[in-house]
Structure 1
């Protein structure tokens, strides 16, 4: 999809705008949002995480509804747009996703680097910026590679509790149980596994009693 030369959000002209019809949300970068100095606007809290962005999980700062204007002069269109504010290094300032594209009823062309949309009985359009598009693409690849290297250098174990968390269903009042070491007996002690290693048995009966099934 094309990179637009600019779009107007509220009373600000925003450069580096990316059209992504596969994206399920409209995104505005936190750095751009801070520079807009949107005093008087309140971010609605968002508890979910956003997946994508080079396969990474991005945690959200919040959501905000702002007027978005595309086009120029008398061939422009304004729609109220819900933006998700994300704090993540990027080469864009905003991404316009499927919700806004449906609202505009636009037709996008990667080849012609432009989008067209109806303005009453007429047709408005916004052209892409090819030099900025190439520059942003190179920067996006660089940022993604750098982030991948950083994540590869640090130890990454398990899943963030913000995504999924497991807990043992233990009734209140349960206490840790320490069992004494048991032996199989002289005859069974002589029996080895087929691999030649010793057998070991762990008794989980007390643990199972303290963890009733939760269907």
Structure 2
């Protein structure tokens, strides 16, 4: 991803848990598919690009979780969501990855 792929961000600065703030470089809207085969559900997700050290590649926000009708469990490393045909699907996390 290069800077020319990003749409300029005009919102407020982001604030971390420690109180520090950072200004996003921009954002990009991408279609993200959750699950495989019959358990697939695709939604448009807006990703902010920030210069910030993190253990994660990306953080899925409340807007995306709401659009998926998803519930996450951090302790169990699971995300449950509804597929397009109304079935409940589960994505399992891997702490070693």
Q: CA deviation at 1:111?
A: 3.4
**RMSD between aligned residues:** 2.1
SS of alignment partner, residue 35 of structure 2: strand
TM-score of the two chains, using structure 2 as the length reference:
0.82
Structure 1: gaps (5+ residues)? 1-36, 133-215
Q: d(CA) in 1 for partners of 2:33 and 2:74?
A: 21
CA offsets, 1:123-156, max 9 Å, x none?
Answer: 2221011224xxxxxxxxxxxxxxxxxxxxxxxx
Please name the residue that 1:122 is paired with. Answer: 87
SS of alignment partner, residue 131 of structure 1: coil
Q: d(CA) in 2 for partners of 1:76 and 1:39?
A: 30
2:50 is matched with which residue: 86, 99, 104?
86
Q: d(CA) in 1 for partners of 2:25 and 2:2?
A: 14
Larger Cα Rg: Structure 1 or Structure 2? 1
TM-score of the two chains, using structure 1 as the length reference:
0.40
Structure 2: gaps (5+ residues)? none
Whether contact under 8 Å (1:46, 1:63) holds in the other structure is: no
Please name the residue that 1:54 is paired with. Answer: 18
Larger fraction in strand: 2
Change (3 A) 1:42 1:62: closer
CA offsets, 1:21-48, max 9 Å, x none?
Answer: xxxxxxxxxxxxxxxx369734233352
Q: Within 5 Å, give how 1:152-191 maps onto structure 2.
A: none
Change (3 A) 1:131 1:123: same
Q: Within 5 Å, give how 1:8-47 maps onto structure 2.
A: 37=1, 41-47=5-11
Work out the number of aligned pairs and report it. Answer: 96
